[in-house]
Every structure is written in structure tokens, then in C-alpha cells.
Amino acid sequence: MNITSRTEFDATITQIVEASTAYYTDGTSNLSDAQFDSLYDAASAYAEQQGIDAPELAKVASGSVSGDVAHSVPMLSLEKVTEDTAALTTWMTKSGIEQFSVEPKLDGLAVVIRYRNGKPVQMVTRGDGSHGEDVTYALESIDNIPAFVGGPSHHKGGISTRDIRGFDLEVRGEAVFTHDQFEGANVLREQHGDPVFANARNGVAGTLRGAKSRDYLIPFSFYAYDQIGLDTAPHTDSMDDLEAFGFATAAGLLGRRGPHDMGQVVTEVQAWAGAEPNVDTDGIVVKADRTSDRVRLGIGSRTPRWAIAYKYATQQVTSTLLEVEWTIGRTGRLTPRARIEPVELTGSTVTYASLHNPDDISRKGFMLGDTVIVKKAGEIIPRLEAPVVAHRDGSQTPIDVPAVCPNCGSNFDTTQAVWRCVRGRGCAAVESVAYAVSRDALDIDGLSTSLVKRMIDQGVVTDLADLFTLTAAQVAAVSSDKVYGDTAQNRKADRVGQSVPVGSTVAGNIVTQIEKAKTAGLARVITSLGVRGTGRSMSRRLAKHFGSMDALRAASVEELATVEKIGTIKAAMIVDELAELASVIDRMSAAGVVMQDAPASRATTDACSQPLAGMSVCVTGSMVLRTRSEMNETVESLGGRAASSVSKSTSLLVAGPGAGSKLDKAATLGVRVMTEDEFIAEYL
Ligand SMILES: [Zn+2]
């Protein structure tokens, strides 16, 4: 919409404030999010165009329509650039800053938590920046802040003393729902007969405002990005301190905090565009890390001159929901995927969009044939945001959620928002084992998926570890649809469609291959476990970093998070899954699978002196001298990063015959392209 007069503007402001008040008071509103956003955008555009100062807009945006608690230091908004690294680089150059801190920009509600004598005593919303609203009653709903902050020293003006005492501290950050919390919040609201939240951002605002009158707690999280009270500098060090006290920080989501130089900032911004954290984010905040730079640059009319928000362009289109496909993952998780009418979005044709889980479908009320909003904001795979209910014409039909596991017919464990087959990993044993023996993992030749299925159906193998204790006689006795060897008996079996045993020759080969796989190397062993979030290249990084399965299993979440590109969330997942796989790993090890790499095979040379240091290399098409997987290993052994897709941050694309869309994309983005021969000539 477009506002053309002051009268219309005033009316719109009234409408926005009313809707916002209703929403934040009890979580309801007569406007849809899209309608609200559209009114808000139109009002903002008109205010800017006419030079009208409209504090209501700032208040609405920050989730508060009133507030009387003064902030100790104003909570300013930030200057923004949208998806423009050139503008970001210009800003960084002009600022004269050399050392930056970088943190994800969380899409929640800015709040301040005040600690007195070490205890959290007050929480205040951002409000209009100078005054916020007291929401202290919601403090007990936050499940990730320390109950006590103190120590012997470290405190502004503090005298070093052996006595532990509580600090006075003000921590600023973002109140957010993690995706899991958001799902949990709506389950809670439904149980209590309250309307569900439409999205995480408005949900957390509604949770804060409504907490006073609600008789149940809705847990949410707090991620810190600033503090007043600690004398630690630079900023990145103060964030380390907050983490040491037990706070989660926005910077911590990156997995590494820096400080960063300009080049690293751009790399981080590009890397984050592909990240899928457990909280909604809409960009990256880049700040001067040193206090001296902040003082030198000072504050502009409304925003500090030492910080900038780099926002990712949110793009959305509408399409039609054609079908929901259900798959069971390797861990038994049921995942819906939406097939949609093909549509152009951010330069590519989209035919599938993600849906989180069955609850997501029922909560948002999707129906087959619905016009749907497809949205992409940072993520790699676009997601199905919401149905456009107004477009329904009666032809839409409900979505059938499977009653039993489509893989094995067992029941689902539906106690969590994510449904899992009660057999867990056992349900997808065929897929798990077939994945483990595939070329990219243990590369066991001769073990086809159909043979794996036979072995599992016939109870010879129940999981990956069982493979390594198989005898040739056991394999030989497995009956198989495939006819091995041209014998009279086999020809007859083939004619009548009868199954015959694998036979001793083939079995002997398979057992030899399995034996060989015991020394496939740590990276391939890690890959074979099929831990969520660890594909081939991540497994190689883990192997390189830890060197042995024992070291990997002993690693804490914090330690894992420091490995390149992992981050805290994925690290926590890996720790959980490795614990779940303990028996499989132990049995593999007992059967003689080598779980550590010889020191010589690990990179010992100085990373910077390697030919591909700092480069991101993608390999596509057929390779002649090596498989793609081996090429990726070569890239990593030369200090480069093996990338699975082409993006602006790709340094080089090695393309063989049959290279398709990646080659086109590289041409569009101006990424350097080489043949396999050229690559070998230049780097090997
Ligand atoms: Zn199942």
C-alpha cells in the first residue's frame, strides 16, 4: 500500500498502535502479520519521505507502546546496509576501524537485564531507546541466564579481593525464542486454550508482555551483545567474560568471536548467509571492537558511528502447495517437505520448500492447493511461511499426516514437536548402513543397497557395526534377488524369479572389502556414522582437528564449536549423537576398525604456506584422474576448503564434463573456473 496524505498517515499510525497493543498484551491482533508489516512499511516510508518524526513507529517496532524506566545509556538503533558487501566495505574503510567484532543480528526483542549484587533484579524493554518498559516479572521465564554473577575482581572500580561478591552489571541483548522453544510455546498455548503465536519474533514480544497475567511460564532465551559495568575491553573480550559468567552471547552463535579484520568480516558475513542457526536472525552486526575507536567516532544524530547492521534481503514469493512428501531420516525423524509450483526466488527456480514438522503444518493451517508464501532469508532452502487464506476457493484439501512410519509401519513418538519413528535409528537401518558403505564414506564395493536390505531383513546385520564381524559364510548364505554368476542353477532361478544365496565367491570379495574398510581413515569412519550435520567435508575437518575418535568423543560442546564452521548448536548436536552412537562406535572399534589417523597424514605444515590456504574450492562434473570425493580431499590437503556449492565466496570452481548449473552460477558471479588438468598443473 501507499500513503498519500497526512490524514491517512495518522489513521495508519492509530491502527498500527492499536494492533500492536492488542498483540503484545495478549498475543492477539485483528491484523495478520503481513497486513501489519505492510501498514508499518507504508507508514515508515511516508514518515521518511515527509520528514515526519514518528516515535510511535520506533516504539511499535521494539515491541513496546509505553515505558517509563530510563535507560542508563540510550539504546540506539543501528545504521543499516542491505545485502551489499561493497557498501559494508566502504563503511569499514571510511570508519578507519581496524579491529571489528562481528555478531549475528537476532530477530527478537531488545532488552536490558540489570544485576545488582550479582543477582538479576530488573528487565526492561528497549522501548523508544531512552525509556523502556519494566518486564521484570518475565525474568523467571528466561532459561539461559546465570542466577549469580560475581567473582573476586574484574569489576569496574572493584578492589581485588579474595572474597566472592556479586557484581552490579547491566547486560543488553535480545530476547528470542529458539525454534524449539517457539514450537514448545505454541504447544503450551494450545494446551491452555490460548491462540498460537504466528511467528517467533511477535511470539517473544507477546510472551514478555503477557507473562504478568499468564498462569504458566513460556520459556525463552536471552543472547547478550553488550554490557555496562565490566571494565573489560575490547568488546570481544567482554563477551568472553559474559560467557564465562554463564550468559549466551549473540557472537557465540558464530562459533568464533574474533576480533576480525576487514577481510574476515566480509568472509563471516558471507558464511553466515548459509548458516541455519536455531534462532531467527536477519543479518550481521559489525562493530568497532576497541573502545578507543568507539570514542573517536562517537554518536551521530540517531545511531552510533562505530557500528552497522548488515541485513540480508528477505525475499518472498507466492506459489501453490502441490504436495507434502514425508521422509524418515537416518535418525528416524519424520520430515515433511513441500512440493510447490516452480517459482523464481533470489535467482533460482524453487520447487521444494521446507516445513519444520507436523505441528508446523497444523499450526499454520496449510492445505493442499493453497496459495502459499515462500520465504528465503539467509537460509539455503526456502521455507513455507504461511498459507494465504483469502485465496481459498473451496478446492483445497487437508494434508494427510502419516499415522504410522512410512518406512517400517511402526508408531511415532509424538511427545516432541519433532516426530520420530519409535525404532529410531533402527527404522532407517538400511539407509544408514547403505550410506555408511557408500563411495563417499567407507567405500565398500559390492555391498549394494538391495543386498544391505536383504542382510537386515534376514537379521544378519542390524547396524553398521555388525558388518565388521561378518564371516564369509554368513554373507554367502544371504539370499539375494541378484543372480551372481552364470550357472545353470542361477539361470533357472532367474527365470522363475527365485532368490538364491549370494555364494562364496562374491561373499569372499565383500568380506575382503569390509576388511579393507577398517583402515579407511578417521574422516571416512566419522562420515559413515551419519551424524546429523556432518557430511563429508565436516567429517574431514573433524578428523583433521581431533586426529582420533577418542579425542572427538572426549570433546566438549565448547571445544567442538571452535572447529571451523561448526558453531555451538551443531556442536551440541554432534555431542548428543556421538553419545547415542556409543555402542556402535565401541563395537566397530572392538572389531578392528581403526579410529585414529597417523600423525603424518594430518596437516602439519603451516596453513598459510599451503597453495590453497584461505580458498574455497568447489568441484563439479566428472573428474578423470580422481573421484570428486578424492578431489575434495586433495583440496583440503592443500589447505583449501572444499565447498559443495558455488557462492560469492567461492574462490575457484573445478569443472569437469557434465558440469551444469554450478558452471553457470560461477560465470554469473565471476568465479574463476578451471579444468581438472589445469588444477593439477597449477596446484599439484
Ligand atoms: Zn520406522
User: What's the pLDDT score for residue 100?
Assistant: 95
- Residue 333 Cα to ligand 1 midpoint, Å, equals 9
ipTM of the complex in this document: 0.99
> 377 is written with which cell numbers?
532469508
- Decide yes or no: CATH 3.30.70.1140 for domain 315-420: no
**Separation between Cα atoms, residue 501 and residue 482, nearest integer Å:** 9
User: What's the pLDDT score for residue 200?
Assistant: 78
Whether residue 33 is annotated as binding a ligand: the answer is yes
450-489 in b/e burial notation, b at 16+ Cβ within 10 A?
ebbbbbbeeeebebbbbbbebebebbbebebeebbeeeee
pLDDT tens figures, 604-646 = 444 445 678 778 888 888 777 777 777 888 888 777 888 888 8
- Residue 196 Cα to ligand 1 midpoint, Å, equals 30
Radius of gyration over alpha carbons of the chain, in Å?
Answer: 28
- Residue 580 Cα to ligand 1 midpoint, Å, equals 18
- Residue 51 Cα to ligand 1 midpoint, Å, equals 61
Q: Point out which residues pair with 228 in neighbouring strands.
A: 170
User: What's the pLDDT score for residue 604?
Assistant: 41
Of 493, 272, 458, the C-alpha closest to 378 is 272
> 492 is written with which cell numbers?
533357472
Whether residue 37 is annotated as binding a ligand: the answer is yes
Whether residue 174 is annotated as binding a ligand: the answer is yes
CATH class of 69-311: alpha beta
User: What's the pLDDT score for residue 174?
Assistant: 96
- Residue 532 Cα to ligand 1 midpoint, Å, equals 18
User: What's the pLDDT score for residue 61?
Assistant: 62
Each domain of the chain, given as residue ranges in start order, spans 6-61, 69-311, 315-420, 428-517, 522-601, 607-683
Q: Which helix (H) or strand (E) holds 50?
A: helix 33-50
Of 630, 662, 658, 622, the C-alpha closest to 645 is 662
For domain 607-683, the CATH architecture is 3-Layer(aba) Sandwich (3.40)
Whether residue 103 is annotated as binding a ligand: the answer is yes
Q: Are 330 and 530 in contact (CB under 8 A)?
A: yes
- 544 catalytic? Reply is no
Q: Are 451 and 478 in contact (CB under 8 A)?
A: yes
Whether residue 311 is annotated as binding a ligand: the answer is yes
**Separation between Cα atoms, residue 136 and residue 125, nearest integer Å:** 10
* Angle between the N-to-C axes of helices 6-26 and 33-50, in degrees from 0 to 180, rounded to the nearest 10: 140
Whether residue 126 is annotated as binding a ligand: the answer is yes
| Annotated catalytic residue within 105, 376, 544, 570 | 105
3-class state of residue 429 by DSSP: helix
CATH class of 522-601: mainly alpha
Fold match, 315-420 / 607-683: no
**Separation between Cα atoms, residue 542 and residue 534, nearest integer Å:** 9
The amino acid present at 581, given as its one-letter code, is L
**What phi and psi, each to the nearest 5 degrees, are found at residue 556?**
-80, 165
> 436 is written with which cell numbers?
555408511
pLDDT < 70 positions in the chain: 22-34, 58-66, 152-163, 198, 256-257, 274-276, 314, 346-347, 377-381, 481-499, 533, 565, 569, 599-610
CA atoms in the 13 A half-sphere facing the CB of 676: 18
Whether residue 408 is annotated as binding a ligand: the answer is yes
Task: Output the CATH code of domain 428-517.
Answer: 1.10.150.20
- Residue 119 Cα to ligand 1 midpoint, Å, equals 48
Q: Point out which residues pair with 174 in neighbouring strands.
A: 110, 223
**Separation between Cα atoms, residue 67 and residue 24, nearest integer Å:** 13
- Residue 351 Cα to ligand 1 midpoint, Å, equals 27
User: What's the pLDDT score for residue 495?
Assistant: 59
Of 386, 376, 383, the C-alpha closest to 315 is 376
